[in-house]
Structure 1
């Protein structure tokens, strides 16, 4: 019961919060049971088979004639042993199209990830689809405190929300960056919070050797697995972005190769903005995206044949007056639809 001398505004604020909490509890009680959904309708295909073939051929010509920069000596050594043309002075790698397609064919078309709670297992394949949280926004906003830099408390609250809602199937990255935590230990505390506050599939950032090794060990321990059991099937995932145009940098390659070597899923999502670091046309940007993705997939299959990889896409456009990235535009939607066609062409799971 409220104290008699409590200000009216404070009493009203508390009543609103209580009403909101009651509404949330009611919604959570009434939500559908955990059951990752399936598409009932066929996917949208903006271009025909000839268009897919043209994008594929153009991407192969990029890989054969121009090449990709791999800023990681271990990756260069692996690709050189595979017969690729490697220039160690420039880090440029050119790949034969037949070899690339042989490597891509080794990748799994059906990926199942089992977290520490097996009931939360999710599948990436065919008509299966899954929703996750966004990753790494620097700020958070709520009714009580407005817009502000994220903190660990905010981070924990978002993880709790992800655990509460059955329509969120995995935790991808940091739902908000906890800027009150030092970057040198942020990955440890954030993954600890994820493993304590949710039993769903978790993600780790590929930002160098120590961080990804720490993450794999923490996920293994949380699930009570031996090293052999952890390596036998996917238990977590990471996502890497290319440094467009036509470049993969050291820390993400290092993390991705370590994950692939242990059989954990890697999503390759080239970051190609049409008109900035990619051709101004959507099809041209997708050609570049496709070449960057396939080059990395071929590398990871050389690390471990059958390593679980996902074809990712992050192609959008920029405002040509200001250079500012634009998201949610018609061009972005069309790019995702065509990217999905390319992923299906290679029989790979797709991340939009």
Structure 2
């Protein structure tokens, strides 16, 4: 976008007749409360021991010759014929000694850096759906125009701290090079960190390189100052495919963040019991952690968890269930057992941005927060079990995230907050509306929602009688009007364009 177009966009967002969408300011979000513990210390150790038994006796299939060689060189038992690796607990313990309990991701805007670990909590845009939906245009295949609009919304809302990997797949573009276009949108339409695709070495390295260009750094300079992350999905049960393994090793080699995340759906890809699923998840996650440290000791890595259940009547995945919520909390306990940052996810199986979608997501979101998740992935826009990115659901989720952020703001107890003077001035049976203590604080005393409607029934009807989903439609459209593209030096943009053009020429063009 030209400087003149950005100026006009800024003027539109600041000078329109209607007020801007209320939202919380950009800030570091931390969880000041003790993490919830569903499992006792003995139960955590029992799960750990079961995980060690899996690694030592059952093994993990690794479909990458390079990874097999790394494990073998480090002393693991390797069967190249079956591509199986067995780890002893000593190798796991040694790898955990070199991991980091927290680290920072720095994008091109230093004000947007995020900390992964400790009490910090960060929320990301939904990632990976092949479809997109809004209430006006309906469900459709993912495309680049919608992709860019969803990324703009992520930039506009301060509570979304990071862009996920392809908020929707732009299926009209060649599959072998579309990641370059989505990276370009991520790094130009936003100034936030983003998730790169780790399906093989090339896609991972392209994301690292483009973030480095946007920051004016070399790849070597980025090794000790990471700017991007990825999710390594384990093909549960107990399989790392070659592309995921190569992506993991590339990210670790260049010092970028990796969240090793088994996809354990109880009753399908893991045992039907929560304890068994957690033991399997733990073994698979630790296996990936070990691989990152064999590539580069100290490489930033997160404990990833995505354990939920299936509907045993149909086999369909279910999210936001009580079991999913308990898994989110318990997985946080396991991550802390190993002093690793923790990635978790809220989700819903609802096919619409409706009450089901909201209560399932909120249920899992509470699990993520109570479990002290550091990276809450797929936090905004997830619909249809992750198969659709929804504009309305994104708005609903932003409202829920902001509610959670305000819940995480500690209660102040001091002379002004105790309000004894005001209590003494208001007579018995009186009210506090006109009290100076109230008048000094009324505009900032409580969270101001952007989506909730607190009108009485008659006023709500007179205003159109819109439910929350219909109001969400209005809000995402208004947010796109308010969006302002972050400034980027012309030379940096040209360098990014040149990189994309060069890589597309090297890759070659495939039919979409």
TM-score above 0.5, yes or no: yes
What is the CA-CA distance between 1:26 and the residue it aligns to? 1.3
- Contact 1:105-1:346 within 8 A present in 2 as well: no
Structure 1: distance between partners of 2:134 and 2:87? 50
Query: For 1:52, what is the secondary structure of its paired residue?
Result: helix
For the residue of structure 2 that corresponds to 1:241, the secondary structure is strand
Q: Name the SS of the counterpart of 1:347 in structure 2.
A: coil
2:302 alignment partner, SS class: strand
- 3-state SS of the aligned residue for 1:270? strand
The alpha carbon displacement at 1:120 in A equals 0.6
> 1: distance between equivalents of 2:226 and 2:127?
21
Larger Rg: 2
Secondary structure, counterpart of 1:81 in structure 2: helix
Residue in structure 2 matching 1:292, options 245, 264, 284: 284
Aligned residues between the structures? 330
In structure 2, C-alpha distance between the alignment counterparts of 1:71 and 1:162, rounded to whole Å: 36
Alpha-carbon distance, 1:105 to partner: 2.2
Q: Give RMSD over aligned pairs.
A: 1.4
Q: Confirm or deny: 8 A CA contact 1:149 1:179 kept in the other structure.
A: yes
The match for 1:116 among 108, 113, 119 is 108
1:298-328 Cα deviation digits (max 9, x unpaired): 1110100010000000111111111111111
The answer as to whether partners of 1:36 and 1:169 remain within 8 angstroms in 2 is: no
Q: What's the counterpart of residue 190 of structure 2? A: 198
Structure 1 stretches of at least 4 aligned residues deviating more than 4 Å after TM superposition:
none
Which residue is 1:239 aligned to? 231
What CA deviation, in whole Å up to 9, does each residue of 1:113-157 have, x standing for no partner?
A: 001111110001111000001111222222321222221110000
Aligned to 2:65: 73
Distance in structure 2 (CA, Å) of the matches to 1:277 and 1:177: 25
Corresponding residue number in structure 2 for 1:155: 147
Match of 2:20 among 16, 26, 31: 26
Instruction: Report the counterpart of residue 276 of structure 1 in structure 2.
Output: 268
Q: CA deviation at 1:211?
A: 1.3
CA distance in 2, matches of 1:299, 1:184: 26
Structure 2 unaligned regions, length at least 5: 1-12, 345-512
Alpha-carbon displacement from aligned partner over 1:161-196 (angstroms, at most 9, x marks no partner): 010111100101122222222211110100011111
Describe the SS at the equivalent of 2:56.
Answer: helix
The separation in 1 between residues aligned to 2:144 and 2:309, in whole angstroms, is: 33
Partner Cα distance (1:255, 1:96) in 2: 24
1:133 and 1:215 mapped to 2: Cα distance?
17
Counting only pairs closer than 5 Å after superposition, residues 108-147 of structure 1 correspond to structure 2 as 108-147=100-139
SS of the residue corresponding to residue 54 of structure 1 reads helix
Q: Which stretch shows the higher mean deviation, 249-258 or 141-150?
A: 141-150
Task: Give the one of 342, 365, 387 matched to 1:350.
Answer: 342
User: 1:22 Cα deviation (Å)?
Assistant: 6.5
221-230 vs 303-312, which deviates more?
221-230
What SS does structure 2 have at the residue aligned with 1:64? helix
Q: Secondary structure at the match of 1:132?
A: strand
Distance 2:40 2:90 in 1: 23
Given candidates 323, 329, 337, the residue that maps to 2:329 is 337
The 2-side partners of 1:44 and 1:319 are apart by 27
